[in-house]
């Protein structure tokens, strides 16, 4: 799949798949960013990506980031829409510093990963009744 991309700073690399089996490409910090304890900050990723029709671009934490940096996404994941592709639509990586100390993310550091995921839009069919038996509310999975 070919995807159109624009780098803000040409001195930093394009997102890279680090191994042959990697499904996520690494995203890099465009600027050195200081994240104070217990705060949320945005780190510019250096890229504007034209997500192809039928896909979303998911921005997720790298598996090592919480352990190495004490940072995690404050919202779980970031979802990049297909129409997020304007001249000012650089992806920012939102991070929450859950530690008690200041964290520095250096320019050029791999800080997140991006994954293209196929999607479909729902066409809603409103009904008056649903299934015959409820499986329970949130957190109440029944084991059969």
Task: Assess if residue 126 is contained within a domain.
Answer: no
Mean pLDDT over each residue of the chain, to the nearest integer: 94
Q: Does some domain include residue 66?
A: yes
| Residue 106 belongs to a domain | yes
The domain that holds 51 is classified in CATH as: 2.70.40.10
> Are the CB atoms for 116 and 24 separated by under 8 Å?
no
**Residue 127, in any domain of the structure:** no
What local confidence, expressed as pLDDT, does residue 140 receive?
Answer: 67
The model's pTM is: 0.87
Residue 143, pLDDT > 70, answer no
Range of the domain at 41: 4-118
Q: What is the pLDDT of residues 83-118, one digit of tens each?
A: 999 999 999 999 999 999 999 999 999 999 999 999
Tokens matching residue 74: 């404050």
| Residue 59 belongs to a domain | yes
pLDDT single digits (tens) 42-71? 999 999 999 999 999 999 999 999 999 999
d(C-alpha 36, C-alpha 19), whole Å: 33
Whole-number Cα distances in Å, 121 to 30, 54, 78: 33, 9, 18
Residue 123 has pLDDT above 60, yes or no: yes
DSSP for 27-38 reads EE-SS-EEE-TT
- Contact between 49 and 5 (Cβ < 8 Å): yes
Tokens coding 12: 């930093």
The answer as to whether 143 is a domain residue is no
Number of domains in the chain: 1
User: Is 28 within the bounds of a domain?
Assistant: yes
């Amino acid at each position: 799949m070919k995807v159109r991309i624009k780098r803000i700073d040409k001195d930093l690399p394009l997102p890279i798949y680090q191994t042959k089996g990697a499904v996520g490409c690494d995203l890099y910090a465009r600027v050195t960013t200081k994240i104070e304890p217990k705060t949320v900050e945005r780190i510019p990723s250096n890229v504007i990506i034209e997500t192809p029709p039928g896909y979303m671009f998911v921005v997720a934490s790298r598996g090592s980031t919480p352990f190495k940096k004490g940072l995690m996404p404050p919202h779980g994941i970031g979802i990049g829409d297909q129409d997020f592709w304007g001249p000012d639509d650089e992806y920012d990586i939102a991070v929450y510093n859950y530690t008690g100390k200041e964290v520095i993310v250096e320019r050029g550091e791999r800080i997140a990963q991006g994954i293209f995921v196929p999607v479909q839009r729902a066409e809603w069919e409103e009904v008056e009744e649903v299934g015959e038996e409820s499986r329970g509310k949130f957190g109440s999975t029944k084991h059969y």
